[in-house]
Amino acid sequence: MDILLTHGSMLVMIAAVVGFFMAWGIGANDVANAMGTSVGSKALTIKQAIIIAMIFEFAGAYLAGGEVTSTIRKGIIDPSYFVDIPEQLVFGMIAALLAAATWLLVASILGWPVSTTHSIVGAIVGFAAVGVSPDTVAWGKVLGIVGSWIITPLISGVIAFIIFNSAQKLIFDNDKPLDQARRYVPFYMFLAGFVLSLVTIKKGLKHIGLDIGSAEGFIYAALVAFVVALIGKFFISRIKFDETAVKSTHYANVEKVFAVLMIVTACCMAFAHGSNDVANAIGPLAAVVSIVGNEGEIVKKAALAWWILPLGGFGIVAGLAIFGHRVIATIGKGITHLTPSRGFAAELAAACTVVIASGTGLPISTTQTLVGAVLGVGMARGIAAIDLGVVRNIVVSWVITLPVGAGLSILIFWGMQAAFS
C-alpha cells in the first residue's frame, strides 16, 4: 500500500505509456481484420484502407469505447485476492499490458494475425497464476477462450462457404450475370445491412449507454437493412452496362458492385472493432488509474479518466499507420486469392459470427473469425486455392499466443516487484 502512496503518479505514467504501446499493437495487428479483405480484393488500395480505418477505428474507440470499463478483462481473475495487496494488481496489469504489446509487435513484424484479446488474457493469467496464486484465475473461462479457437473459425468458415457458393450459383454461373446481379445483390445488401447494424448495435453502441434490447435491436437492424437494400437497388438499376460485351467484362462489372459493398462492410467492422477491442488496452490501464486514485481500493467497474479513450484511439491509429500493412497483406493476399465477391463473403461471414457470439456469450477473437472466413472462401474453390504454409504459420502463432503472453508477463511482473521493493 505504501508503494501506491509514494510511487502512485509514476505507476500511472508507466501504465499510460504501456497502454499506448498496447493500443499501438492493436492498430498494427488487429485492424487488418477490418481492412485485409478489402485490400486483398483490390476494392481499396492500402492507403485508402488505412485512412478509412483510421477514421472509423478512432470513431469507434472514442465514441463507443465506453464511459465505464470492466477493469478485469473478461472476468478471468478474481480481484478479491488482491484486496490486501492492491500494488500487486497494479504491477500485474502493467506487466500484462507490456507483455501483450511486446508479443503483438513481434507478430506484426512477422505479419502474423494474432488475437489481441488472447494476448492480454494470456498475460493476465500468467502474472495472476504464477505471481500470486493459481486460485485467482477463473480456469473455466480460460478453457472457454481456448475452445473458441476451434469453434469461431469453424462457424465463420462454414458461413463464408455458404455465402460464396450462393453468390456463385445465383449470379456468376449464369449466362447473364449482370441481370442476376441486379436481381440478387439487393438481397445481399439487405443481409449485410442487417448483420452489420446488429454488430454496430451490440458491439459499438452498447458502450455509449444506449441500452437497446434484443427485440428492438432486430427491428432497428431490419429497418436499416431495408433502406440499404432500397438504395442499393436504385443505384444498381441506374448502372449502365454494355450488354454486348464479352462475358469476362460482365463478371468484372459484377465484381465492381461487390467492391462497393466491401467498402461499406469494412467501415462498419472498423467502427465495431474500435469500440470493442480498445478495451484490451484501456481496461488494465483504467484499473491502474482507479486503484491508485482510490488509494488501493479495487472496484470491478472503473469510471474512465478523460484522457484514457483518446490515448487508446491515437495508439490504434499510430500502430495502423506505421505497421498495419504487414498483417493486412497476410489476411488479404497470403491465405488465398480474393476478389470483391469473395472478400465480401468472408467479411459478411465474420460479421455474422460476431453477432452469433454476442448473442450466445461465446468468447470470440475477431482475428480468428476472419481468418476462418477467408479459409471458408478458399475451401469453396478447392484446397489448392489455399496457401497451406501461411495457414500453418497463423495457427502456430495462435497456439503460442497465450503461453508467450503469460511467460513475458511473469518475467515483467517479477521485474517490477524487484524494482519497487
Per-residue pLDDT of the chain (421 residues; tens, 9 = 90+): 577 767 888 999 999 999 999 999 998 888 777 788 888 888 888 888 888 888 888 887 777 666 445 545 557 888 888 888 888 889 999 999 999 999 999 999 888 888 888 898 899 999 999 888 888 888 888 888 778 778 889 999 999 999 999 989 988 888 778 788 888 888 888 988 888 787 777 665 655 556 677 778 888 889 988 998 888 788 777 766 666 666 667 777 788 888 888 888 888 778 777 777 777 888 888 888 888 888 777 776 666 788 888 898 889 888 988 888 888 888 878 888 888 888 889 988 988 887 777 667 666 778 888 889 999 998 888 888 888 888 888 888 888 998 999 999 999 999 998 988 7
Best CA proximity match to 109, nearest among 283, 275, 324: 324
Contact 317, 27 (CB under 8 A): yes
Q: Can you give the pLDDT at residue 254?
A: 83
Burial of 266 (0-12, 13-18, 19+ CB in 10 A): buried
Range of the domain at 93: 2-420
Q: In angstroms, rounded to a whole number, what is the distance separating the alpha carbons of residues 234 and 231?
A: 5
Round to whole Å and give the CA distance between 162 and 355.
Answer: 17
**Domain count across the chain:** 1
State residue 72's pLDDT score. Answer: 53
Q: Which pLDDT score, from 0 to 100, does residue 183 have? A: 84
H helix or E strand, kind and range, residue 386: none
Look at residue 244 and give its three-state secondary structure: coil
pLDDT attached to residue 209: 59
In angstroms, rounded to a whole number, what is the distance separating the alpha carbons of residues 249 and 266? Answer: 26
pTM of the predicted model as reported, rounded to 2 decimal places:
0.84
Q: Given this model, what pLDDT does residue 24 score?
A: 94
Backbone angles phi, psi at 225, to 5 degrees: -60, -40
Nearest one of 5, 136, 141 to 83, comparing CA atoms: 136
Q: What does the pLDDT read at residue 146?
A: 79
**What was the pLDDT predicted at 86?**
85
CA distance 353 to 374: 13
Nine-digit cell string for 135: 486460485
Residue 342's CB: how many other CB atoms inside 10 A? 29
288's enclosing H/E stretch is helix 279-293
Distances (CA, A) of 125 to 17, 72, 281, 290, 345: 22, 11, 16, 20, 35
